[in-house]
Homo-oligomer: A and B are copies of this chain.
């Protein structure tokens, strides 16, 4: 399996999981959080499948395609270890959907970051809210739920607050 194969599986699984998460949270209130914007492709997709949602983006520095750049008042700019607690103060446990693609090249580094960031993400989700992640996360009370059929096992992870 080539790196291109793995990458395609990851992108296809990300899309399938986001579509699925949007479906199972439809009609319930609450904002959506996108952790990491990158060039904005996934944010563009999230806006398309959840046009009615307020989507807040957490990013160190905005460097996205102009087509996929969030409004200024929808951005938490800075270090996630500071901006996620800010978001908790502002919104409480009301997020309906949170997406994170931490994905660097270094698997061990990604895993360490996933462990470190999990306790900052967990308190943000409302009951029934869903977290979509490209890496395995380490939550105390969110539960891993099955992937949709179009996703590839291990390339994306879904968690829900019961």
Residues from chain B with a CB closer than 8 A to the CB of A140 are: none
B105 touches A2 (CB 8 A): no
Partner of A3, one of B2, B3, B41, B49: B41
Known: A65-B105, A105-B65. A8 touches B4 (CB 8 A): no
A8-50 at interface with B (beta carbon < 8 Å): 8, 11-12, 14-15, 39-42, 44-45, 47-49
Which of A3, A12, A15, A45 is most buried by chain B, counting CB atoms within 10 A of its CB?
A3
Query: Chain A interface (Cβ within 8 Å of chain B)?
Result: 2-5, 7-8, 11-12, 14-15, 39-42, 44-45, 47-49, 65, 67-68, 105
Partner of A68, one of B3, B5, B49: B3
Known: A2-B49, A3-B41, A4-B41; 5 extra A-B contacts, CB below 8 A, are A3-B45, A7-B11, A7-B41, A11-B11, A12-B12
Whole-angstrom distance between the Cβ of A151 and the nearest chain B Cβ: 13
B2 touches A48 (CB 8 A): yes
Partner of A8, one of B2, B12, B40, B44: B12
Residues from chain B with a CB closer than 8 A to the CB of A48 are: 2
Nearest 5 A/B pairs, CB to CB: A4-B45, A2-B45, A3-B44, A3-B41, A2-B48
Residues from chain B with a CB closer than 8 A to the CB of A11 are: 4, 7-8, 11
B45 touches A5 (CB 8 A): yes
Residues from chain B with a CB closer than 8 A to the CB of A49 are: 2
A65 touches B15 (CB 8 A): no
Residues from chain B with a CB closer than 8 A to the CB of A65 are: 3, 105
